[in-house]
Amino acid sequence: MQKLIINGGTRLEGKIQINGSKNAVLPIAVAAAILGDSVSVLHNVPNLTDVKTLSAVLEGLGASITRKNGSLYIEPINRMEYEAPYDLVRQMRASIYVLGPLVAKLGRAKVSFPGGCAIGPRPVDLHIKGLEHLGAEVEVKKGYIYAQAERLVGAEMDLLGQHGPSVGATANVMMAATLAEETTVIRGAACEPHISDLARFLNAMGADIEGIGTSTLTIHGVKQLHGTEHTVISDDIEAGTFMVASAVTNGDVYVEGVTAEQIHAVSEKLTEAGVQLDWDDTGVRVTTPGQLKPIDVTTAPFPGFPTDMQAQIMGLLTLASGTSTITENVHTDRFIHAAELNRMGADIRLEGRKAIINGVSFLSGAPVMASDLRAGAVLVVAGMAAAGETTVSRIYHIDRGYEAIEKKLNSIGADIRRVNDGE
Ligand code: EPZ
């Protein structure tokens, strides 16, 4: 295993380019591999462990995937393999995305039931509900989800869950519905930018989806989808992470390749906290003219403040001049990073799904551990702001969603080394 050693206290300065969105490319690659009947080419694909894991799942199903210069060439499945085994699914929950497309294409699917993870329980009842509405018979037994349907038939459904819309269920059911007979209407659909990117990709494959970007998606089923070429949207969460990194190091960083619309809620909160954002056509310059101010943040589905930026904004607020609060409404147990930040001198108290953050004047380097992807990201960010050396272990979590994070940050002034455990 590897870890990152961060020499803190350096100021970030320069330009950083944002990669393609992890959470967009995962379902798009699934659609290309399972629903398409000819080769698709995806551009702007980040080189991440999650993309490699998903590729292994899709190759196990019979697809053929090649990566060349940041693009994925996906030749769709060519045999009747319909099982996504435990060994692969347990590495990445997003493997559940193959469920709907397999039923739509092959009439059946057997997908290992994904477990919970460090950010809390993560049920899949809405995925199942949506597929049942389309006429699939779904059964969970011995750790597997079995789904089958001679043919899927469009239906009206509401996929709003207890914690709001589900990104995964919306993607899964939308993909399945593209090849169903007749018309499907999904109410309570997730509207995240990566869901819209998936819908645009499906339409480019020949699907007929209306209402993209809204909470009601209307999908007129078609008989066949063909391969296409697509450039994946940029990663709003990677961009937000680097914006926070600039702010906490009192830096002057131009984050290139993100639009104000994609990251509106995060921008609004950063501005309220005293961070200056100067937008132009290609990105945003991030500076911090004065002391960071305390704010209150509540996570919510898009267009609200994203749960995937909750850890990073917490890192920033540890250094604000007063008391901030964060209420986590999407993944209600997603606070493991708070204890790690406290090890670095932060003053964070948890009350259920709320974190109370009393700003401190400085953080100190410490050995800390990443418990999930974004929790890992905030420890790197905090490590750059802290005095002295921070060692972040279990960085395989970070590599799932950030491509070569240390190389990117070092190119704008950070001092981060990747070493093997034991070195
Ligand atoms: C996606 O996960 C993202 N993952 C997550 O990003 C992100 O945190 C999440 O959406 C919310 O934005 C990918 O896109 C691969 P959900 P997903 O279904 O689809 C509940 C990251 O850091 N729910 O939108 O699994 C669920 O428990 C990752 O990049 C049900 O109740 O999330 C949660 O409270 C982590 N039943 C809420 O809905 C279901 O069947 C939203 O979850 C499904 C979800």
For residue 167, how far is its CA from the centre of ligand 1 (angstroms)?
6
- To test ligand 1's pocket by mutation, which of 23, 195, 373 has the most ligand atoms within 8 angstroms of CB? 23
- The length of the chain, given as a count of residues: 423
For residue 71, how far is its CA from the centre of ligand 1 (angstroms)?
26
Atom of ligand 1 nearest to the CA of 190: 24
Cα separation, 114 vs 129, whole angstroms: 16
Contact in structure between 219 and 178 (CB atoms under 8 Å) = yes
Give residue 84's pLDDT.
86
Query: Which residues neighbour 233 within 8 Å (Cβ) at sequence distance 6 or greater?
Result: 20, 21, 24, 44, 193, 194, 197, 262
pLDDT tens digits along 177-224: 999 999 999 999 999 999 999 999 999 999 999 999 999 999 999 999
Atom of ligand 1 nearest to the CA of 332: 34
Atom of ligand 1 nearest to the CA of 161: 31
pLDDT tens digits along 144-173: 999 999 999 999 999 999 989 999 999 999
Give residue 116's pLDDT.
61
| Candidates 39, 41, 56, 117; catalytic one | 117
* CATH T-level topology, domain 22-231: UDP-n-acetylglucosamine1-carboxyvinyl-transferase; Chain (3.65.10)
Max intra-chain CA distance, the chain: 63
125 lines ligand 1 (CB under 6 A): yes
331 lines ligand 1 (CB under 6 A): yes
> Residue 182 is which amino acid?
E
213 lines ligand 1 (CB under 6 A): no
Tokens for 127, please give them.
């995925």
pTM of the predicted structure, to 2 decimals = 0.97
Q: Which residues of 131-165 are buried (b: 16+ CB within 10 A; e: fewer)?
A: bbbbbbebeeeeebbbbbbeebbbbebbbbeeebb
For residue 122, how far is its CA from the centre of ligand 1 (angstroms)?
7
Contact in structure between 264 and 293 (CB atoms under 8 Å) = no
Please list the ranges in the chain whose pLDDT falls under 70: 115-117
Give residue 293's pLDDT.
98
CA angle in degrees (0–180, nearest 5) for 316-284-320: 15
Atom of ligand 1 nearest to the CA of 96: 25
Q: Whose CA is nearest to atom 22 of ligand 1?
A: 308
- Domains 2-18+235-420 and 22-231 agree in fold: yes
117 part of the active site: yes
Domain layout of the chain by residue ranges = 2-18+235-420, 22-231
Q: Whose CA is nearest to atom 8 of ligand 1?
A: 308
Tokens for 364, please give them.
């100190």
| Domain 2-18+235-420 classification at class level | alpha beta
Contact in structure between 64 and 34 (CB atoms under 8 Å) = no
